[in-house]
Amino acid sequence: MNRLRYRQVFLFLVVLVLPTAAIIIQSRYNASRERENDAQARELARRELADLRRRRATEIGQDIVTRLERIKLQEIARAPSGAATAATASSDSAVAFVGWEGREGLIWPWNVAHSHNGGASREESEFTRKRQAGERAELAEQNYSRAAAFYREALGNARTDAERASASLPLANVLARAGAQAEAARVYRGLLKLPSSVTDDQGLSFASYAALRLSESHAAEALARVNLDLESAALLSPAQAYRWRSVLESMERSGDAAVRLAAAGASARLAKRIADVEDALQVQQHFRDLRVTADSWQPYAGRDRWWIGKAPTGAASRPLVLAVRVEEILRSVETERQARHEPSFQLVTDGVSGESLGEHLPGMRVALGPEITKAVAAPGAGRSFYGLSLFLVVTLTFVGAFFLWRDTRRESRLAELRSQFVSSVSHELKTPLTSIRMFAESLQMDDESGTGDPKERAEYLETIVCESERLTRLLNNVLDFSRIERGQKNYHLQSEELPGVVDAAVRTMRFPLAEQGFDLRVDICDDLPSLRLDRDAIEQAILNLLNNAMKYSGKSREIGLRLSRRNGSALIQVADQGIGIPAGEQRRIFDKFYRVPSKENNAISGTGLGLALVAHIADAHGGTVEVESAPGKGSTFSIALPLPREPAPDGGAAV
């Protein structure tokens, strides 16, 4: 038996545990390999992404530089000699200012001397003389009408707009002082019409002088003149910008609400131009530190955020210096790139994050939009599926193994029971055969010797008959059991009187019971209807119960047999006062081959088939068999057979 168990354990190990362990080890190994591969793939993807970002940033840098170079060429073409033409604004709105690099540093257009205007540096002329005479009369003599006359003469000699303006302005001033307000206003209004390029030697337009004088009396006209300047793209010099500011400030103090409102609107626009101008002054101040070269653009962190670049020396006599608006450049590059479905980007200013834009835009970095990550596939999916299938395989294997193990255990138990059965059947056969043989031999000897008591002879014969009946019962049990196993057991039901059947069983057992000194108390209720039953089978069941009562009575010698009626059933009860059955075993004793595994029980021979047959017979008659028992107190087995509901006159019974 032990060998079989070892074999089972060994097979279990070989067939189940080892392969499962192998699968688990292999899959763990695979999983770790896969993790390594994943990590490598991720690292690769990370590098690829970094590379892609760098490439894209360089592309963006190139796009920006291309745009900037276009602007540069455009500006060089506009001012080929580096002349003061730059004073007119660039047609490209991205250009904030254009200046030149001189020996002293950066020169903005307004820094150029206004020698061409009506300044004092001009050589003596009739115009100059008359104007100077006017100034003397005005300032030294304070004779305003005389001064006005000289200024008028100067005006008559003026050849250019600037000369005319430089005579008109003092003329209007002295007229106003002399009290000729209406005439003064007329002259001022004439000045208001002059273009902004007509300036005095401080770079201030004559129109703005007139606007200042007219800001109260002719506010609407003066304001229109300011707006004209603010709307034009032409450059404002710092002086001019501040001049316009004071004109607007005085209008904002006006008593006329409409004038105040309009002036406030213009002030807001002017503020932006002033911010540009102030940035330009800052750039000028720090120009040397910016270290602008011909092939790089430097950021200038002013309010509008400009990049400062320079045309190569030689392209113009004095290299052009450009200040371009970063925001506009980026917007136009971004639009171009979006049209080509390139990823979006943003300038970053912390100087650490993002990607460099390349050598032409030193220190400038961009952050690329998240869509770039889509270009690189992320690895590492499907491992959870792998783990799940491993879990399923292992679980199914173990569930299968459990059922297999349970079946084998059952089989081996059955095999054990069968071998026990064979030995107990042989043992059971041996006892009656021995007595039959012994008594037959005694009879034979008596015959030979001619002696022998006839009473003794009759007793011997009775024993032989009784033992052979016992043999028959045993063999019947075995044969019936094998029929049941093969499904060939048939019961022949016919109408019978149950008391008669019980009586027959009692008669059969009378001799063996008496032989062993048993006292059988029989109590048969005769008031029972006929039943449809297999007479032999019911008798066999009662005999099995009586036989067990004898076997398991221990020292007790009292057995009771009762036939009664209870709850519509005929009840056959066999009671003993023997060894009893523990409660836990009472259900299993009706299983085939099952014997209560106690020391007391082992000493009594048996096959474990008797009760299984009783249960089968009761079942075939639509009845039940039950046991009531307590160890040491005895057992009562009851077969209940259902009675027909209404006793029929012909004795037919329903089963």
Could you give the CA distance from residue 72 to residue 102 in angstroms, rounded to a whole number?
18
- Binder to ligand ADP among 20, 128, 373, 601 (CB under 6 A)? 601
Task: Check residue 578 for interaction with ligand ADP (CB under 6 A).
Answer: yes
Stretch 611-650: interaction string toward ligand ADP, x if CB under 6 A: xx----------------------x---------------
User: Minimal distance in Å, beta carbon 569 to ligand ADP?
Assistant: 21
Longest dimension (CA), the chain: 202
**DSSP β-ladder status, 519-524 and 558-566:** parallel
Nearer to ligand ADP, 341 or 555 (CB): 555
**Amino acid type, 14:** V
Tokens 């390349």, located at residue: 358
User: Minimal distance in Å, beta carbon 443 to ligand ADP?
Assistant: 30
Task: Check residue 425 for interaction with ligand ADP (CB under 6 A).
Answer: no
User: Minimal distance in Å, beta carbon 561 to ligand ADP?
Assistant: 13
Segment near ligand ADP (CB under 6 A); pick from 241-249, 275-283, 371-379, 573-581: 573-581
User: Minimal distance in Å, beta carbon 529 to ligand ADP?
Assistant: 29
Contact 581, 598 (CB under 8 A): no
Task: Check residue 595 for interaction with ligand ADP (CB under 6 A).
Answer: yes
Q: Is 294 helix (H, G, I), strand (E, B) or coil?
A: coil
Q: How many residues lie near ligand ADP (CB under 6 A)?
A: 21
Q: Is 450 helix (H, G, I), strand (E, B) or coil?
A: coil
Task: Check residue 502 for interaction with ligand ADP (CB under 6 A).
Answer: no
User: Minimal distance in Å, beta carbon 572 to ligand ADP?
Assistant: 14
What is the C-alpha radius of gyration for the chain, rounded to an integer number of angstroms? 65
Mark residue 593 as left, alpha or beta (left: phi above 0; alpha: psi -120 to 50; beta: remaining).
left
Nearer to ligand ADP, 302 or 608 (CB): 608
Could you give the CA distance from residue 497 to residue 495 in angstroms, rounded to a whole number?
7
Contact 94, 332 (CB under 8 A): yes
450 CB neighbour count, 10 Å cutoff = 6
User: Minimal distance in Å, beta carbon 600 to ligand ADP?
Assistant: 9
CA distances from 609 to 77, 422, 460, 467, 548 (A): 122, 12, 30, 19, 11
Give the DSSP H/E element, type plus range, for residue 325: strand 320-325
- Binder to ligand ADP among 208, 530, 548, 573 (CB under 6 A)? 548
Nearer to ligand ADP, 175 or 614 (CB): 614
Task: Check residue 586 for interaction with ligand ADP (CB under 6 A).
Answer: no
Nearer to ligand ADP, 198 or 574 (CB): 574
Site for ligand ADP in 116-175 (CB under 6 A): none
- Binder to ligand ADP among 596, 618, 640, 653 (CB under 6 A)? 596
Cα angle at 29 between 27 and 33, to 5 degrees? Answer: 115
Mark residue 101 as left, alpha or beta (left: phi above 0; alpha: psi -120 to 50; beta: remaining).
beta
Per-residue tokens: 586? 């009472």
Segment near ligand ADP (CB under 6 A); pick from 262-270, 362-370, 391-399, 605-613: 605-613
- Binder to ligand ADP among 57, 187, 262, 579 (CB under 6 A)? 579
Task: Check residue 609 for interaction with ligand ADP (CB under 6 A).
Answer: yes
Contact 623, 641 (CB under 8 A): yes
User: Minimal distance in Å, beta carbon 637 to ligand ADP?
Assistant: 7
Give the DSSP H/E element, type plus range, for residue 96: strand 95-102
Task: Check residue 573 for interaction with ligand ADP (CB under 6 A).
Answer: no
Per-residue tokens: 594? 């099952």
User: Minimal distance in Å, beta carbon 580 to ligand ADP?
Assistant: 6
Question: What is the contact surface with ligand ADP in residues (CB under 6 A)?
Answer: 548-549, 551-552, 576, 578-581, 589, 595-596, 601, 606-612, 635
